[in-house]
Structure 1
Amino acid sequence: MSTEFWIFLLVGFGAQIVDGALGMAYGVVSTTALLSMGVSPAAASASVHAAKVFTGAASAASHVAHKNVDWKLLTLLSIGGVIGGVAGTYLITSVDGKLIRPWVIGWLFLMGLIILYRAWKSARPRALPVHGPAPLGLIGGFFDAIGGGGWGPIVTSTLLSSGADVRKAIGTTNTAEMFVAIAVSTSFIAALLTGHWKNTEMADHLWPVLGLIVGGVIAAPVAGWVTKVMPLKLLTWMVGFLVTGLAVWQGLQLVLK
């Protein structure tokens, strides 16, 4: 079995544990790791969203079982997220990967800063001034599809800043993310089948994607228990530095080429 499988199994496991604790970071961490391997932004986003379908289902089942879901909020977030995700997929598959890569790296760097800000403030962050769950889902889904991550940092942060219950905000956001991942993955498949997106990378990165799936699915049921024994502030600092550090490293690679 490929060494990449085991490496990304650990990446997927760790990212899902963090996502379960903070309501964000699975997509950001996974996408940043794939980009560091030289994967194009579109292929990275497609890979991460394929993994999110499985990890999201496991996470959603856990949150539903623990009654962490607000069903009305879930419906509105999911509708907006699906529409935004499909639109973002169409855009990222229409643009040359070399042109969009600097913007995606910049986006991930911004996500890293948001996570660091959460660690620094140790409080609910101020986020997007969006009124209504559906528009919030639309924005979150759009940028999540383009950057391979961003749903949690945008949607969860905004819900928390508006005073939403922490448990319901994280549980509902994670559950809605499953529907967004399904929509984005379906859109990537449709883009491939119609010839809108020509991609030959996916087969080359099968083991990393499988590693992300297996690691995330294993972690989803135990994420709640792990977060009880790990200091969340320390965890947040570690993830923030990891994401921003990798983004800076990739940015320097682009500049020095």
Structure 2
Amino acid sequence: MRSLILLGLVGFAAQLVDGSLGMAYGVTSTTLLLAIGTNAAAASATVHLAEIGTTLASGVAHWRFNNIDWKVVAKIGIPGAIGAFAGATFLSSLSTESGAPIMSLILLTLGLYILIRFTAFGLPKGQLGKPMRKRFLAPLGLFAGFVDATGGGGWGPVGTPAILASGRMEPRKVIGSIDASEFLVAIAASLGFLVGIGSENIDFAWVGVLLLGGVIAAPIAAWLVRHVPPRILGSAVGGLIILTNVRTLLRSDWIAASSSVQTVVYVVLALVWVGSVVYSVGEHRKTKAAETELTPAA
């Protein structure tokens, strides 16, 4: 029962972050499942089955707040579904021993990207309002969908920053469109896992509590996307993902680090993490102060 309550809280927190930042539900949830010993394919399958419900709820919530560009959803979602199905069948063919560190390595890479991207650069601006082209969105969707299924998460970490970097859509539209299109990705990945590993390797009680926590958080997150500073949230989430997946890798047969080495690595990473969040808070305040100075008095 304690494990189910913890998973429900993780589902809630992960969706709260995902719905307000456009990423991290899958990465965060899968990281936890790996940390408690779930094999790689089953962990990703569990998360993606839960995401069918959470992404639907999130999409509806973002639609109600007018946070979605449906043309972008169609252009990126369909290729994303194709990539996700391919990624799910690929991961299903890996052994449990090799799958866990490989997935942790993917998640670690995504965590580093999130931390560096949001800490150092924040949210890009420029070219707002220009159309998003299919020749950019289709390959992006195909790649992001494959990474999402093989890494247990990655649709948001790959898709959201890439579209934000273009400067052609306002952040809330990017986040809403990515969340809505992830519904197609979640369905395709789930089908791929069911074909690859079957339903007997999936704990549907875990799916249910992750889903419940995510559905409760979805409307809150869609509202928060207008109020929570994405730069600060991105730094916080990126550091958490890095720390957790480094732990998995250090304990794996690939590295098998001693306890003293693990402790040193954890301390260094924790200091970097805290420093990144503090820096992001400072930069956010500078940006807000500069915007206030530029705003003419009423």
Note whether the superposition's TM-score is higher than 0.5: yes
Q: Which amino acid aligns with 2:120?
A: K
Q: Could you tell me which of 154, 157, 163 is aligned with 1:153? A: 157
3-state SS in 1 of match to 2:122: coil
Aligned-residue CA RMSD (Å):
1.9
Match of 1:98 in 2: 97
Which stretch shows the higher mean deviation, 37-46 or 65-74?
A: 65-74
- Could you tell me how far apart the structure 2 residues matched to 1:142 and 1:14 are? 24
3-state SS in 2 of match to 1:168: helix
Q: Could you tell me which of 161, 164, 167 is aligned with 1:163? A: 167
Q: Which amino acid aligns with 1:39?
A: T
Match of 1:251 in 2: 249
Match of 2:146 in 1: 142
3-state SS in 2 of match to 1:256: coil
- Asked whether the equivalents of residues 17 and 23 of structure 2 are also in contact (C-alpha less than 8 Å), the reply is yes
CA separation of 1:233/1:76 partners in 2, compared to 1, >3 Å: closer, same or farther? closer
Q: What percent of counterpart residues are identical?
A: 42
Deviation of the 1:159 alpha carbon: 0.5
- Could you tell me how far apart the structure 1 residues matched to 2:3 and 2:206 are? 6
- Could you tell me how far apart the structure 1 residues matched to 2:50 and 2:96 are? 21
Q: Which amino acid aligns with 2:207?
A: V
- Asked whether the equivalents of residues 5 and 210 of structure 1 are also in contact (C-alpha less than 8 Å), the reply is no
- Asked whether the equivalents of residues 14 and 29 of structure 2 are also in contact (C-alpha less than 8 Å), the reply is yes
Deviation of the 1:230 alpha carbon: 4.5
- Asked whether the equivalents of residues 24 and 156 of structure 2 are also in contact (C-alpha less than 8 Å), the reply is yes
TM-score (norm 1): 0.89
- Could you tell me how far apart the structure 2 residues matched to 1:50 and 1:15 are? 15
- Unpaired runs of 5+ residues, structure 1, are 192-196
Residue by residue, what CA displacement relative to the aligned partner does 1:227-247 show, whole Å, maximum 9, x if unpaired? 556554433222112110000
Between the two proteins, the alignment pairs up a number of residues equal to 245
More relative contact order, 1 or 2 (CA 8 Å, 6+ apart)? 1
1:240 paired to 2:235: no
Deviation of the 1:226 alpha carbon: 3.9
- Could you tell me how far apart the structure 2 residues matched to 1:239 and 1:225 are? 19
- Asked whether the equivalents of residues 18 and 24 of structure 2 are also in contact (C-alpha less than 8 Å), the reply is yes
Residue by residue, what CA displacement relative to the aligned partner does 1:62-105 show, whole Å, maximum 9, x if unpaired? 11222222122111111101110111111111121212322211
Q: Which amino acid aligns with 2:148?
A: D
3-state SS in 1 of match to 2:28: helix
- Could you tell me how far apart the structure 2 residues matched to 1:168 and 1:230 are? 15
- Could you tell me how far apart the structure 2 residues matched to 1:217 and 1:199 are? 23
- Could you tell me how far apart the structure 2 residues matched to 1:198 and 1:174 are? 27
- Could you tell me how far apart the structure 1 residues matched to 2:231 and 2:123 are? 13
Q: Which amino acid aligns with 1:137?
A: G
Which stretch shows the higher mean deviation, 67-76 or 142-151?
A: 67-76
CA separation of 1:161/1:232 partners in 2, compared to 1, >3 Å: closer, same or farther? closer
CA separation of 1:100/1:224 partners in 2, compared to 1, >3 Å: closer, same or farther? same
Match of 2:220 in 1: 222
- Asked whether the equivalents of residues 119 and 232 of structure 2 are also in contact (C-alpha less than 8 Å), the reply is no
- Could you tell me how far apart the structure 1 residues matched to 2:49 and 2:152 are? 11
- Unpaired runs of 5+ residues, structure 2, are 125-133, 258-298
Bigger Rg over Cα: 2
- Could you tell me how far apart the structure 1 residues matched to 2:226 and 2:41 are? 35
Match of 1:208 in 2: 206
Deviation of the 1:199 alpha carbon: 6.9
Q: 1:177-196 to 2 correspondence within 5 Å?
A: 177-191=182-196
CA separation of 1:57/1:13 partners in 2, compared to 1, >3 Å: closer, same or farther? same
